[in-house]
Amino acid sequence: MARILVVDDEPGIRRFVSRALERDGHAVTTTGTGPDAIRLAADEDYALIVLDLILPGVSGLDVLRTVLATHPGQRVLMLSAIGDAATKVECFQHGAVDYLAKPFAVAELVARVRVRVGEPRAAVIRRWLRVGPVALDLQRRVATVEGRSIELSQREFVLLNHLMQRAGQVCRREDLLADVWGYTFNTSSNVLDVYIRRLRSKLDADRIETVRNAGYSYVAV
């Protein structure tokens, strides 16, 4: 059983989420304001905080910053109706471990919570992601190739992070378009191909492979 804090200004969402997590065996505390979330996080030790972005009093992003400033190992899963890539990147930069956009499937939320509460606490504060000669600074949004620094745009960062986290696996076009751009339709858009070309021009061109009729794969070695 894990202790979880759910922060959302909508009473219906708080009830829905807390019931689902309690059925999964967790002990859940809820609140609807940013100041209360900061106070509760300071007074109790939670395995995970499920945090909305739009809150009265103090925004969810400010709650995230404040909590992690005093408890840098705290796991925070953002749960918000704001699903654009720039907002996700900002939350990840400030230390969130996961981000789930509303509306969401309760089964997916429960599954994500199970994964996050089961992670070693030290994994939360990891800064660098390294695969082969490429290292990704998860805080500064900069890639280095054999020590050479490469600046990335927000979407380039999110795309490269997605690929590197799944190095050696096939990343499907529809998953990339959904996670990086929020597209759940128009999966024939060529925006993904444009950004892949940009990344290839900044990295070793052979680092990202095209998987015919499927998507792309980041070479793991």
**What digits encode the pLDDT tens for the residues 40-89?**
998 888 999 999 999 988 899 889 988 887 777 789 999 988 878 888 88
Of 33-37, 80-84, 121-125, 170-174, which gets the smallest average pLDDT?
A: 121-125
For residue 219, CA distances in Å to 77, 130, 156, 194 come to: 29, 12, 17, 19
Domain boundaries defined on the chain? 3-124, 127-218
User: Are the C-beta atoms of 24 and 47 separated by less than 8 Å?
Assistant: no
Instruction: Please tell me what DSSP assigns to residue 180.
Output: I
Q: Tell me the one-letter amino acid at 3.
A: R
Phi first, then psi: what are they for 151, rounded to 5°? -80, 140
User: What pTM, to 2 d.p., does this model score?
Assistant: 0.58
Find out if CATH 3.40.50.2300 is the number for domain 3-124: yes
pLDDT of residue 187: 62
Average pLDDT of the residues in 25-52: 93
Who wins on pLDDT, 5 or 140? Answer: 5
Find out if CATH 1.10.10.10 is the number for domain 127-218: yes
Tens-place pLDDT, residues 40-52: 998 888 999 999 9
pLDDT averaged over the chain? 86
